[in-house]
A and B are shown apart, each in its own frame.
Chain A
Amino acid sequence: AQSVTQLDSQVPVFEEAPVELRCNYSSSVSVYLFWYVQYPNQGLQLLLKYLSGSTLVESINGFEAEFNKSQTSFHLRKPSVHISDTAEYFCAVSQYNFNKFYFGPGTKLNVKP
């Protein structure tokens, strides 16, 4: 079975500051890794994913995450956040067939002016 840990339930940060949201997973088999974002009153949206290849993956709005197999981590980072990044972020893992996703408990990012 797989499990996902997001140690920070809330992360307050000022606008234009850098941020890192931590994600660690446990699995006995190879997994694929995802970050989903949930803006207020909206459904979950895929932010970025790691399937294979380069361990550093990027989203279109400036977020990036790096897959670290030895540390079983997939931390999400952004060098300079905006007010509009305020949302809840969920890390998730899936096995090869993508028929089941395991989600972490989420991290609420609160960007303050």
Chain B
Amino acid sequence: GAGVSQSPRYKVAKRGQDVALRCDPISGHVSLFWYQQALGQGPEFLTYFQNEAQLDKSGLPSDRFFAERPEGSVSTLKIQRTQQEDSAVYLCASSYAEGGTEAFFGQGTRLTVV
């Protein structure tokens, strides 16, 4: 595709529900990032993939958060037993190569936990 695509764009979840957020990076991009952006704040790093390998997951806030990229392209961010503090915009970004200096961002998924 022309850009990074994320789905759904909006998700409302009841507290305790599991959610899965999808990211389709730009075709051929090796690196993939997930960020969390709370209201009024800048994006905060969650995790980084190089192809299918998850090389850094230091930003995942708890063990309820899990990300995967099994075939080195599409990635899914899963949040189990959602809590109100999980409400945020989840951004996915990709870059062409390891060490690529320009990351291309999707429009994000806005998650609201009620």
Which residue from A43, A92, A103 sits with its C-beta under 8 Å from B108? A43
Is the pair B55, A99 in contact by a Cβ cutoff of 8 Å? yes
Given A43-B4, A44-B105, A98-B101, answer yes or no on A103-B44 (Cβ-Cβ < 8 Å): yes
Please tell me if A55 contacts chain B, counting CB pairs below 8 Å: no
| A90 on the B face (CB < 8 A) | yes
Q: Does A4 contact B (CB under 8 A)?
A: yes
Asked whether, in the complex, the Cβ of B48 is within 8 Å of the Cβ of A103, the reply is no
What are 15 A-B interface contacts by the 8 Å CB criterion? A32-B101, A41-B107, A43-B107, A44-B43, A44-B93, A46-B103, A49-B101, A90-B42, A98-B99, A98-B103, A99-B48, A101-B33, A101-B45, A103-B43, A104-B42
Interface string of A37-59 (1 = CB under 8 A from B): 00001111110010100000000
**Are the CB atoms of B107 and A90 closer together than 8 Å?**
no
**Range of interface residues on chain B?**
20 to 34
Cα–Cα distance between A42 and B91 once the two chains are bound (Å): 11
Q: Per-residue CB proximity of A70-81 to B under 8 Å, as 1/0?
A: 000000000000
Cβ-defined contact, B95 with A100, below 8 A: no
Chain A residues near B56 (CB, 8 Å)? 99-100
Over the window 6-50 of chain A, the binary record of Cβ atoms lying under 8 Å from chain B Cβ atoms (1 yes, 0 no) is 100100000000000000000000001000100001111110010
